[in-house]
Chains A and B, each alone.
Chain A
Amino acid sequence: MKKILQITLGIITSVGGFLEIGSVTTAAQAGALFGFQLLWAIALGTICLIFLVEMSGRLAAVSKHTIVDAMRERFGFPFFFFVLIGMVLVAFLVLIAELGGIGFALQILSGLGFPLWALPVSLVVWLMMWKGTFSLIENGASLLGLVTISFAVAAWKLNPDWSSVGASLLPTLPEQDKVKYGYLAVSILGASISPYLMYFYSSGAIEDEWDRSYIAMNRVIAGFGMTLGGVLSICVLIVAAIALRPKGVQVDTFPQAALLMTTALPRWGFYLFAFSMLFACFGAALEISLAIAYFFAQGFNWNWSENLEPSKNARFAFVYTIIILVSAVPLMLHVDPIRVTMLAMALTSATLPLAIVPFLFLMNDPIYLGKYRNGWITNSVVGIVVLISFVLAIISIPLQIFGG
């Protein structure tokens, strides 16, 4: 019974964690510009993420190491530090984007510009980290994030041609705007396959004291949770394709994105979007702050646990305090969160090999996983992901310049 509850909570967390400003913005832009054509990118990203998250949980349950623990030990300090820099810089950009997302949601609700909300928002996020426990954060933010199910309701109400939707699971090239298409595909993959999710998930498994008996449960959570999250992203794309594309409305700004569900849900669509973004970005901001702080704390073996009061893990608390407060600064200076989002998504794609290649080595190391090492299917899927992400890494940066 307890396990069923844990599975449910785990799935809810995964759903809540999937949708955030990156996945919503990229899916909405894709739908508005290319209809259903980029659906395959969301599907592919989701499949990859399922495997990666399952691996994160399995590593923690079997070896009692988080990914970062194992990476430092296996590859030594210089390599670890190199990965730290890359991962933290990109995660920091994503954090700025998420805080911006919360600020934008408050802007469209109140009329007050997001720069004014930046500092109050970051203080609230910080306070949750300072005073909250891991379960409170994980479960509380995720339950609130369930309001994002409204995207699925909107998609269903718009009655899409489901056979077209299904056909779009296979990649096709558009007739025009190939550069923009490619850039959006890269961004969607970067939005779906977020390394911070892997680090957060493996840390959570250790915080929740998983052992080998959790391996099956881990598969269920990773599989169902990420699938549901991916489905919600696909719903955002469908809604944009049906409600925005025929009118030629592009999603270049957040106020335009806010119109997403006003056709499907005439009375409540606007407010459901605002609250969906508010809670989804809030949850993501918490996860990213934790993921960054975990990276430092686990890498250097400081005390770390969200369940301890701050003075008992001072360096860990210090790191998240600094990053949350500093990430508010660009927003206060009117830097556009949508721009930051698109940049962060492309950079995530570009740095995916840095995160995934060492992880793949670890998942095949008998010292850490014994008989629970990766099978050939997992290795193949992840291997293909690494290949695609590497190719995308080469393409994404010039595309950023052309299409951005």
Chain B
Amino acid sequence: MAINRFFSFLFLILLLPTMATAFEWHIVPDKSSLYFQAIQNNSPIKGEFKKFTGNIKFDQQALNKSHVDITVDTASVSTSFKDVEDALKTAEWFDAKAFPKATFIAKNFKKISDKDYEAHGQLTLRDKTLPLTLHFTFEKYTDNEAIVTGNATVNRTEFGVGQGEWKKTDGVKDPVEINFKIEAVK
């Protein structure tokens, strides 16, 4: 009996990692991207965060056990116009020195339709943490490969992105659109 129980226990122990990894996705950095777009002088200004990592545990069949945790390297901000890129790294904007990381953590997921989902989580940008809802769509979802595209809109001033005179939203408007694509493998 004791031996049987021991083997059952051993079996469970051995099974645990596979149960954990069955949920776990690894981002493919080269095929994933994180863009944002704001409005300045009534026209779009685009940028990108080149570096971000994430812990993604997600299963379409087990949303209540899913968990997403994305960390963005704020110093990896990039725009076509170097002056804008340099300005965005300064204390008035992302303050990449004081706040090198921005995070998004979500544990609450909602299925909207077959491929469309919502992630209700918390975005931490600079020293502010506020709720944020992401909309995302599965372009591909197989046992070991997933492609997701999504978007969200944040009001930059709520996070203090744009200090001093930049708090005014006539030059650079408040809403910023975020667009992302994540390719992940198991």
Are A and B interaction partners?
no
Give the interface of B toward A (CB within 8 A). Answer: none
